[in-house]
Amino acid sequence: GADTSSLSDPHFHVLMMFTKIDKSRSLQEKFRVAMLSMVKHGDFLEEEVLVLHFVSDQASQELGQRMLQEVLLDATFQYEVVFHDVVELTHKLFPIVEAMQKYFSAGSGAYYSDAIFFLSVAMHHIMPQSLTRIVQVDLDLKYRTNIRDLFQQFDHFPPGAVLGITREMQPVYRHTFWQYRKENPQTKVGEPPPDGLPGFNSGVMLLDLRAMRASPLYNQLLEPGNVAKLADQYRFRGHLGDQDFFSMIGMEHPELFYALACGWNRQLCTWWREHGYGDVFQLYYRCDGPVYIYHGNCNTAIPDD
């Protein structure tokens, strides 16, 4: 677009949720794999800085600071590390996302602590105005390419798009939209690619915070009355937080999303293949083309290559 400020801003912002890490050896190991592969392939210009944001509790922060010293040793680029207090962010988020929690959270109540699972949805209101782009990534990833290349994808956003995201690679939304699909047999909702609307996966997200702030449509969709309207229209009940919200509004307004190639978030989980969807599973799971980032979701092992 006409915005050229990013060309001169040498900061590349990446955010990860990083809570209760001290309680899980498995998450610690995933974090190590993600960071070591990010560092190994990371390549930036001399004046550029990779800014690593972590949303964390006290114990996880202390552990994270120790682990980062180790995994960042071989970095050939400049970096900064910023820890955000999960309690403070939750406090800011809750009033914005409270109304959507009952549709997209586990359980029926709007639990205060679950608000953090909707951080990406309202990030444009939470982060300072000076922050215009941020990439949010899971910890259970393995990078096979320079993370700087991911940021180039921002430049392909069409006008009106606020978020870059990869499609979901299991038939989970075929399942979630079951009732809507029964009542609307011709719908593309929940159908596989390339012609269907399989929903999104939140493991890798490019948030154009400036576009999110500037989009009247996106901000209307955050309003409690409109969330309720869409959720009722689609008979939607889920428990995957931001991913469910984005997948639902994407059914109605696909133009808000820039579809990242499947290789940018190559999900490996096959849970739904064994749970009633074996016949259609491959239609969702297949991903042709290069894999830039593996996502070992639902604790799936990531190939060594």
Residues that bind ligand UDP in the complex, under the rule CB under 6 A: 16-20, 24, 27, 138-140, 203, 297-298
Residue 18 interacting entry, from ligand UDP, Mn ion, none, C-beta within 5 to 8 Å by type: ligand UDP
Residue 115: enclosing H or E segment and its boundaries? none
* The entry of ligand UDP, Mn ion, none that residue 298 binds, CB within 5 to 8 Å by partner kind: ligand UDP
CB 45 to ligand UDP: min, Å: 28
Name residues contacting Mn ion, limited to 118-147 (CB under 5 A).
Answer: 138, 140
CB of residue 169 to Mn ion, shortest distance in Å: 12
Residue 19 contact among ligand UDP, Mn ion, none, beta carbon within 5 to 8 Å by kind:
ligand UDP
Phi, psi of 210 (to 5 degrees): -65, -45
**Piece in contact with Mn ion (CB under 5 A), picked from 40-48, 58-66, 170-178, 198-206:** 198-206
Query: How far apart are CB 297 and Mn ion at their closest, in Å?
Result: 4
Residue with tokens 């009542």: 183
Rounded CA gap, 301 and 297, in Å? 8
Shorter beta-carbon distance to ligand UDP: residue 55 or 189:
55
Which amino acid is it at 199? G
List CB contacts of 146: < 8 A, sequence separation 6 or more: 41, 42, 43
Give the whole-angstrom CA distance, residue 83 versus residue 61: 7
Euclidean distance between CA atoms 108 and 49, whole angstroms: 42
Place of tokens 């393995």: 142
Interface with Mn ion, residue 242, by CB under 5 A:
no
The three-class DSSP label of residue 193 is coil
Least distance from ligand UDP to the Cβ atom of residue 220, Å: 28
**From the list Mn ion, ligand UDP, none, partner contacted by residue 229 (C-beta under 5 to 8 A by kind):** none
Chain centre distance of CA 192? 20
Binding site for Mn ion (CB under 5 A): 138, 140, 203, 297
